[in-house]
A and B are shown apart, each in its own frame.
Chain A
């Protein structure tokens, strides 16, 4: 593998990580509306949506040895198109349709022509809204930051 194609692969993986993270945090209603605007290719479900558990790991002291904190509910599925592309949906929670929608968009986003439409049309606005919600929570927390001051004592 040449260095150039290796770099392309790394970039493609990073892009996919990004859209999967955004889709996993998106609302189902919104994804449903967006999906209605796209003609789906012929598909086969390699794994129908199933809900289960994953054990959340943490580290002693935040940085030390691993331990098991407790489980989290997760729903997953996988879909394939005729070219063999694989769309993967993993979401926190038990919403089967959410996992399906993530897998379908993951599949569509791997098609370069659709990607050119979906990245700015779907992923970017979703990401912006998610960032805005995080910023708002952070800004509200920041308003509760303590500003210490020292009272001057009179002599």
Chain B
């Protein structure tokens, strides 16, 4: 007999109210506005946009507020929201060469054309807690200005490509439209376009750990940060009413071009290989980790031995999504009363017969 069990409505409704109260905290402290989160927690906003796979700073900030700062929950909220909106189409591929640069560094060439531009980075801070922020006494000295950067900042990879020292990165014949994982399920073997979309919305912590594993010897890719650039890139679309491209705004992007060693083969002369990382907003750690994992997942096409987790596409791509991972791990909280009851019965029966002679032994 199956017995449906109901109940818990009041408990759930009361938990909503308690959650809202906990989110708000002490009402003697002013409430955070979405605009404040967007402006003053921009790196949290960037991560939620990247992994939520939706560039909208207001919505990402709202999700962070609603999730009380829980990034993975905020990412889930943004992903859920996107399913309610119609899809108008695709933008033209963003041209990161025409980025309005706010940061651009290379670990491979000291004196590169355009120079090393540090931008707003934590890299050279001393990681000492700043107690003036605790007192809300922020230094308000305006940032220094110099002559604006040149409009054309060549990519480091283009400099290497000029000498043929790095594998060329050109569109395949016909510049085909890529698989879209937001409309089609992930299938294996996954081509590079599929992998890059998966990595672009992958959990930063997961990519960071995998990228780190490649540096520690679980797949040797010998990476150098050829170039990291961050800034604003125009979004171009071709509206159906017009039939020509127009710009509809700008988005902030962080790009990492990882340059890796490659010994060459009987058919290819030795040249550097590439790993690519790109993320919404200011998200350097994410872009770097993505480029390491993009490169390690290219092992098969580069005829390298596949021995490590970071090289195994099925393992990496199937476990990279925080929404899926969090959903499956957390579903364990849901009632499993009936499942567990049957296991309980089984264990009791096994214990009852434990140590007793089996029927075969009895007849022997």
CA distance A24 to B249 in the complex (A): 6
B232: chain A residues within 8 A (beta carbon) = 134, 137
- The reply to whether B192 and A60 form a contact with Cβ atoms under 8 Å apart is yes
Q: Contacts A70-B201, A70-B280 given; indicate if A57 touches B169 (C-beta within 8 A).
A: no
> Considering the chains assembled together, what is the distance between the CA atoms of A54 and B54 in angstroms?
9
A56 to B177, CA, bound (A): 12
Taking a contact as CB atoms closer than 8 A, the residue among B100, B101, B182, B274 that contacts A55 in the complex is B182
Q: Is B212 an interface residue (CB 8 A)?
A: no
> Is A52 in the interface zone, CB < 8 Å from B?
yes
B91 proximity list for chain A (CB < 8 A):
54-57, 72
Asked if residues A90 and B246 are in contact (CB atoms below 8 Å), the reply is yes
**B304 adjacent to chain A (CB < 8 Å):** no
The answer to whether B115 and A86 have CB atoms under 8 Å apart is no
The winner among B91, B149, B177 for most chain A CB atoms within 10 A is B91
- Count the A-B residue pairs with Cβ separation under 8 angstroms: how many? 233
B-chain residues with CB within 8 Å of residue A2 when the two chains form the complex: none
State whether A92 touches B85 (Cβ < 8 A): no
- Cross-interface CB contact of A68 among B111, B180, B250, B257, cutoff 8 Å: B180
Q: Point out the residues of chain B lying under 8 angstroms from A13, CB to CB.
A: 244
- In the complex, what's the smallest C-beta–C-beta distance from A79 to chain B, in angstroms? 11
- The answer, among B58, B96, B178, B239, for a CB contact under 8 Å with A94, is B58
Residue from A55, A64, A65, A143 in contact with B144 in the complex, judged by beta carbons closer than 8 Å: A143
Residue with the highest number of chain B CB atoms closer than 10 Å, among A67, A73, A78, A86 = A67
List residues of chain B with CB within 8 A of the CB of A86: 241
**If the complex has contacts A55-B91, A137-B102, are A143 and B54 also in contact, measured as CB distance less than 8 A?**
no
Q: A132 to chain B: closest CB distance in Å?
A: 10
CA A56 – CA B234 in complex, angstroms? 11
Q: Are B87 and A141 in contact (CB under 8 A)?
A: no
B59–A58 CB distance below 8 A: no
Question: A30 to B85, alpha carbons, bound, how many Å?
Answer: 28
Query: Considering the chains assembled together, what is the distance between the CA atoms of A4 and B181 in angstroms?
Result: 46
Contact of B276 among A50, A61, A146 (CB under 8 A): A61
- Among B140-155, those with CB < 8 Å from A are 143-149, 155
Instruction: Confirm or deny: B94 has a beta carbon within 8 angstroms of a beta carbon on chain A.
Output: yes
On whether the beta carbons of A140 and B145 are closer than 8 Å, the reply is yes
Point out the residues of chain A lying under 8 angstroms from B18, CB to CB.
none
Indicate with 1 or 0, residue by residue over B174-192, a CB within 8 angstroms of chain A CB atoms. 0111111110000000001
Report, nearest first, the 10 A-B pairs whose CB atoms are least far apart: A92-B249, A61-B169, A64-B169, A67-B193, A139-B145, A21-B247, A143-B144, A138-B148, A142-B146, A70-B53
A54-B88, A139-B146 are known contacts; what are 13 more A-B pairs with Cβ within 8 Å? A53-B87, A55-B90, A60-B192, A61-B157, A65-B171, A66-B93, A68-B197, A69-B278, A136-B145, A140-B143, A141-B101, A144-B117, A145-B115
